[in-house]
Amino acid sequence: MKFLRFLLLLIPFASSVVINCKFENSGNFQVIGSVYQCNLNIDPSITSTNTVITSANGTHYNSSMNHENVQGFYSRSKIIHYIPYGLSKIFPNLILMCIRYERIKEIHQKDLEQYSKLRNFDLEGNDIEYLEKDLFKFNTQLQVIWLKNNKISQIYPTVFDHLNQLEYLHFGENQCLNKYKKDRTGVLELIKEVKEKCLPDILLVSKQLQTLNETINNNFKSIENQLNEKSSKIINMESKMENMAKTQDEKLQKSDSDMNRKIELIAKNMIDKIQSLKANYNEQNEKIQRVEINVNHKIESIAKNITNEKETLKQEDKNSMTKNDGKHEEFKTEISHNLTNLKNETSQQITFHDILRLFGEKNFFGPCDGHACGGPLLGQHLPKKLF
């Protein structure tokens, strides 16, 4: 109470109010879960920055509970326009401040300095447009910042510098950003994006001027570097051209030498191949000549054999004819003798059938050695007077 009196003395024209709470375990808030909290009733209104809450009325959940057990403050009654002073002295262990869909337009570091134990800060659905430099400097235990559905367009880049435990950050449905992240890695990425997209105008202009100045300086440096680089390139190019000319001459000489060696090697290989082909040709020619000689010998041998065979056949034919002629003479003599005997024995006329019976048909006609059997032989061997 002494602190509140001192605070009232410090704030000119400060007005004190007593709030009415409904104490209960409720809510399922991000990270912290359910808490024992004060749900603010409709009155009184907090419409001025110099309003100080001096006390809170209400019946606790049970007799063992008191204001020190209260960890949360919740309001959704459209009667709060500013972050209230004095709550931290009434509820010293506040870890949750949830003031949703009220009419808060601005928040300042001095408004939050008294709530050093806050872990969850929720101002969804208000009219906040700007987050000032080092806003959460004294709220280093914050794990959740929920600023969904406000009108935030500018955020000072150092706002989150002291919040090493922050793991849930919600900027959905705001002017400069519409995102939220619910893990430490994602929060760090979102903070980086906030610094790019939500800079205050003065910082944005300053950054643009700085960027322009850096660009100009970089351009001058770039031009200077380009000139130096081009000058260096020209010097290097002259040196390279000299080296290239020297190298090219050496390469040409080496190329001529290599070419001559290659030509000599190719010529030697060609000569070796020609000599090898010539040797193969001579060897093949000798083989062909030997084959021709062998073939001629074989042809002469075959011709000689054929000649000998012809002579043998002729001799055999000659011998056969001589033998047949002898047989014919003998047969002729025998016939003549038999006919003479037959004639002496009978005085009857001899018929052809008598001759056949006497000599036999086969013996009479004799062999048919290339001649017609019968007439010619009969005419040759029988006495003409018998016919």
Label residue 367 by pLDDT band (50, 70, 90): low
For 238-255, write each residue's pLDDT tens digit: 788 888 878 877 887 887
Q: Would the pLDDT of 363 be above 70?
A: no
Buried b (16+ CB within 10 A) or exposed e, 249-262: eeeeeeeeeeeeee
pTM of structure: 0.53
Tell me if 50 sits within 8 A of 81, measured CB to CB.
no
At 10-41, the pLDDT tens digits run 444 568 999 999 999 987 898 999 999 999 98
**In this structure, are residues 61 and 25 in contact, taking their beta carbons and an 8 Å threshold?**
yes
User: Residue 214 and residue 21: Cα distance in Å, rounded?
Assistant: 57
What's the CA gap between 169 and 321, in Å, rounded? 142
Confidence of residue 1 (pLDDT cuts 50, 70, 90): very low
**Among the listed residues 111, 106, 173, 153, the one whose alpha carbon sits nearest the alpha carbon of residue 136:** 111
Which pLDDT score, from 0 to 100, does residue 94 have? Answer: 98
Write the pLDDT tens digit of every residue in 198-210. Answer: 999 765 455 555 6
Task: Please tell me which residue, 333 or 32, carries the higher pLDDT value.
Answer: 32
| Highest mean pLDDT out of 144-153, 229-238, 271-280, 285-294 | 144-153
Q: CB neighbours (10 Å) of residue 1?
A: 8
How many residues are recorded in the chain? 387
Per the prediction, the chain carries an average pLDDT of 82
DSSP assignment of 253-314 = HHHHHHHHHHHHHHHHHHHHHHHHHHHHHHHHHHHHHHHHHHHHHHHHHHHHHHHHHHHHHH
8 has a pLDDT exceeding 60: no
Chain segment 146-175, per-residue pLDDT in tens: 999 999 999 999 999 999 999 999 999 999
Residue 88, pLDDT > 50, answer yes
